[in-house]
Amino acid sequence: MPDEKKYTTAIVDALVSAMDYTGTTFDDLIERGVPMEMLHPYMDNSEPGAIEADEDWAARGDFISDLPPSERKKNGPHPGPFIPTLIAPYSIRPEAKIQRRQWIIPNLLLRCHLTLIFAAGGIGKSNLGLVLAQHVSIGKDYGDFKPGKRFKVAFLSVEEDGEEIDRRTAAIAGHFHIRPADSDGYLFKITLPDPGALAAVDKSGKVVSGTPLAAALKRDILKLGIDLIIVDPFIEVWDGDENSNPQMKAAAAVLRNIARDTRCAVLLMHHIRKGEAKPGDIDAGRGGGSLGALSRFALTMTRMTPQDADALGISGKHANKVRLDSGKASYLPSVEKAMWFQFASYTLDNAGDGEPADDVGVLVPWEPPSMFAGISDDRIHRTLDAIRDGASDDKGNPVRWSAHPNAKLNSVLHPMVEFLGCEKERAKLILHAWMKSGLCYEKPYVNADSKERMGLLVDEAKRPERGR
């Protein structure tokens, strides 16, 4: 029988108030002998450390009392641990004393933060995660991703079995000439039991908490000094409703807390809803834009479309290529701003017993051809001459070519497609580049109907020399 006399109301107040900081639970306090009836006033609220998958209670006007828990009514507004004063004086620190951002890969992976990559199934996000893991573990550049030095990386790949992971990692190492011993001591694999949830939702569906596995993962990260963990896919490490935005956000917050508590970077691979996402559209991800708002960086991974191939001058050669774009809602990045990759086939040295060796796809950086690749100097100048000379309307009256996207008969894309000998999408890119440089510019003029219109002209001082 616990000694109830040694637990006064003030002591219980202090113990409950410290739960967020000590990591203890109500069960821990009961095991230490705190009487259950003394804890009842506090147990209507969720466990400290749990995250409410609900709208912001403060926005509804429920405010935390500035009184100790024992002085609040049991059914008062939002009961919970006593919280001290939240506002304190702030002094601007000297610049030289401010710690620099701790990058693993500049503009992609940052310590204490989440990075999310949204992609449909079968695009190549798992392959990308394994390629990044190996390159970061040896400090080797991968296209525009430059780690600068080697870091310890632990990856979790749930969707593939151990044998397939071995095939992919061996193919990646073979293609990029990475010796297996090069990553020893810096490359780690995370294995979770089945089920292996790092975050779990309670029966009410409103509280998402880190599980004992999350605590164990945090322990191992600290013990081994892991700098980056890669989780693929995110949906496999928690047991909630993937169609619930609040739950998804709260589950991601558990991973973010791991990043902050261990000072590692976390890369989450995440599925989109059914269908193909548009480049840069993170709202297409399961959980919506709420996940993107929680992360430091959010990117989309999508297939090259036939229209992309036309714009890049490689019509019909889009099947094995993908693009990576920074995620910005309602913004469609242009093809020249995307990071491009293509799948290369690597044949493993594992033939035997009359069976052929395995061919494995490896995602490698791909550089699009120059915007003017295959377009002669003569074609460029004939196009500029046509823009300079203007056109005629259906009545034979002179008009200037228009750069307006809704222009029809006098759209400048007509002579550009004809004289450059390229697809319409590629002509759009070239026009954008010419107007951005000032080689082509718009100026108002009066047409035959005495109406003012915008027409396209050529700045001859910026025209490239003929015959270069």
User: Which tens digit of pLDDT belongs to each residue from 285-304?
Assistant: 766 556 766 778 889 899 99
Whether the per-residue pLDDT at 163 is higher than 60: the answer is: yes
- Rg (C-alpha) for the chain, rounded Å, is 30
Percent of the chain having pLDDT more than 70?
81
Q: What mean pLDDT comes out for the span 19-37?
A: 71
Whether the per-residue pLDDT at 119 is higher than 70: the answer is: yes
For 308-320, the pLDDT digits (tens) are 888 888 888 888 9
pLDDT of res. 138 = 97
Beta-bridge partner residues of 145 = 142
Whether the per-residue pLDDT at 165 is higher than 80: the answer is: yes
Q: What single DSSP character describes residue 361?
A: E
pLDDT category at 456 given cuts 50, 70, 90 is very high
Order the strands of the 207-210 sheet from edge to edge. Answer: 51-52, 207-210, 199-201
Range scoring the smallest mean pLDDT among 180-189, 196-205, 349-358, 430-439: 196-205
| Residue-averaged pLDDT of the chain | 83
pLDDT category at 458 given cuts 50, 70, 90 is very high
pLDDT of res. 6 = 65
Count CB atoms within 10 A of the CB of residue 42: 23
CA distances from 427 to 12, 386, 412 (A): 73, 14, 9
Q: What mean pLDDT comes out for the span 101-113?
A: 93
Range scoring the smallest mean pLDDT among 65-74, 128-137, 427-436: 65-74
Count CB atoms within 10 A of the CB of residue 153: 29
pLDDT of res. 83 = 65
Q: What mean pLDDT comes out for the span 217-231?
A: 96
Best-predicted range by mean pLDDT (124-133, 289-298, 414-423): 124-133
Nearest to 131 by CA among 164, 179, 171: 171
Q: Higher model confidence: residue 283 or residue 130?
A: 130
C-beta contacts of 53-61 below 8 A and 24+ residues apart: 53/201, 53/205, 53/206, 53/207, 53/208, 53/240, 53/244, 53/246, 53/247, 53/249, 53/250, 54/206, 54/246, 55/246
pLDDT of res. 42 = 66
Q: What mean pLDDT comes out for the span 100-113?
A: 93
pLDDT of res. 189 = 96
pLDDT of res. 82 = 56
Nearest to 187 by CA among 232, 161, 226, 149: 226
Q: 45-60: buried (b, 16+ CB within 10 Å) or exposed (e) per residue?
A: bbebebbbbeeeeeee
Q: Higher model confidence: residue 397 or residue 346?
A: 346
Q: Higher model confidence: residue 234 or residue 10?
A: 234
pLDDT of res. 391 = 86
- Dmax over CA atoms of the chain, in Å, equals 105
Q: Higher model confidence: residue 18 or residue 162?
A: 162
Q: Higher model confidence: residue 265 or residue 278?
A: 265
Q: Higher model confidence: residue 128 or residue 3?
A: 128
CA distance 89 to 120: 47
Q: Higher model confidence: residue 53 or residue 94?
A: 94
Q: What mean pLDDT comes out for the span 214-229?
A: 95
